[in-house]
Structure 1
């Protein structure tokens, strides 16, 4: 498109006489001053942004209201509830209702407010005012000679931790009034008479309870203090004699009685140490009896320990182990068709551990042995048949031994198969060799598994050894070796932070040999780890 020159219009134009206005045309304008350029498109005005912002704010506000409506409502309700509790607490103080079991007392109101809002100072101040009011109530009760009410109010004040000087003053006055009311002289006279009559403890009118009553009213009463100390010293002397005579329960009961009357008695630590040493000696003796298959003696000692210390963990475990050994012995006797002995040992095991799985297994083993004997008694098979049966039993025994089934499962173990072969042909050379070879085989099993560090398998072989030859003199050495291996494994696992495995190792080692080297140190480290010491 070409350019053309237009005349320049000047402004403003001059008005004409008749009022019209005519434009002036400047014909002398330079050609390039009045160029007309292409008309640009008119830009549309930008849409305002504020409606969008307003809409976003409205949406955000609605979302916040929906999300926060419950917390806001809870907060408003909580504030209202706390204020109501504070008002109710103030009203209860004015009414003199400082504490009530139904929760309507001033103390309960302020504590409830504090539970809802732990930062509410008014609730703490309210509890302090309750304590002050309790002191005032105690003083008023003393003036009215209402000792029971004074005692209750003083207890409330002390629970709310009023200044000690205030509570001690009220307590001293209360003790004085109670002493006057109880007749301290009469109580002391009765205590002295009870001591002379040999009524030391065990009844409200015995000497020690009466001295205790006097000292509760007058803690500094010299006669009562000296009388109590003499009696407690006598009891500790009796406790020593009882412990030295093997009467654990009696000695432990006397020491506990002394501790209840005066935990700070000068001679109590020595007697307590003697009790601890005696208990430990009895536990070790019982463990030794258990390892040597002196089950009756072990059980009696464990029961003595439990009578002195109910719930003792070592004695409880010892009785469980004794029950297991009774059950094993009963199974061996049943295999030999010694049903009287088997039944007696089964009853012992059942008395110690009635819910034990081992007891149930032995019961079934005895029933199977009865059936086997009945079959043998019916008709004796011909000699060739008997020989085939014996050979089959010995082959079964070899296969069971190869699987490691030395004494389990009942009736299918290597031990039971050899016993069955003995019942058919006790003089057969192969049967005798198999029976004689059982002990060396289980001994070799223990050594093999220990050398491979398979302690659980070694434990199984050792249990079989114990069942097959309980009187073997080499058992003690093997038990100590396995116990020390458990200690080594437990120490390693404890260092790796595996407390559960270390605890199991400790229990296994204790069950094998309580005097194994390093056991006490390992037990102390496990106890330290259990207590959170790392």
Structure 2
């Protein structure tokens, strides 16, 4: 039996040999037409898109690199304080403890503390700076660099280094300096200066020389006795000045004596005489101010301030004098005596830095312009109609809440125009009295809502309506303190520019607002470190 044949193979071979290759057929699928697949873009077409994407990425990376610090300060304000602490640590390690340009360890730690007062790292850093300053003091003494030693010791004391260590370093410094100074020669020069009457008129006068000796040798008997006698001579001159009615000169001499030796035996009696003379000047100035003698009162208060620039009562007297000038200027302007009003305004400007002067000047200028627009010979009936029309416009502007703006159409402008026409008119006075409570309410509402700019506008209207209202000063202080509170919050968030603006606003409102000087110093420290 023969093996089975593969007919397909043979037939295929035979057919290929006899008729050529026969392709397979798809049957009914051959009638179906499919779409061509989407053609992929070539490299030439993809290239522009890739270039733009790459360029955008490069720009993004470059911008991030260039603005990395501002972005970090904005997103994470605490990183600025951390950076300052790191820079301070580097300055400390390099021995650069303090520098006027703000790059010293002390200044950098203080800037970090101003930005973030709740963290202790900066305080600990300042303690390390104090310890390093003590080490520099001792090293400078050993090298006979006494000026450097004094500077380093001063820094250590400023940063509250341990008292025992600073005192020991100071004693060592005095001993070393005394060995190089020639004490006997200094004593002879001091005695000669006293005999010639040169007590305190230069570095080679008796008292400065004795003080120099005692700084080197505090227990040197000849220097102690010589200083005692020279101070007695100085206080005799002070008594002579008091006898001559010159308390300012006497005060300067007594102050110098107190600086040299606050325990001198003749000092209490001289101070008591000076106090009586000062009180006499104060009482006379107060009396002059009560009697309307503003010029004489201001002269007295300024004399007191030359004696003691920190005399709070004298400072208050100068302010009262300035406000008395302002009140008189406005009264004179209301009576159309503008030349005299301007004179008082100039005097007030010399006495005050208060924004009230600027406000009063605007009010007087408005009154002058309103008066100039009024015909000098306006009949009484026409004047009355004009006043009534202005008061009606005042009421309409007040109903809209337009107390100060827009200029010329505000309630205040209309009321002032009416006051310029008829300052003594009962209806005008009643309108001013009605406006005042509304303006006060405006101030309180805006302040409660922390809308400080609008509160400031309401306060200005209040002050313009009643410049002599004593409550205005308290309101100015409250608004100044609110500016400081908001500024402190923004400073903690790293917004130094806003904090600087808050200092300006607060100082314009009340230059003596509690906490203003301390906050201003913190802002200054932070700003210097940020530059």
Pair in the same fold by TM > 0.5: no
Q: Which has the higher contact order (CA 8 A, sep 6+)?
A: 2
TM-score with structure 2 setting the length: 0.44
Q: Which has the higher helix share?
A: 2
Higher radius of gyration, 1 or 2: 1
TM-score with structure 1 setting the length: 0.44
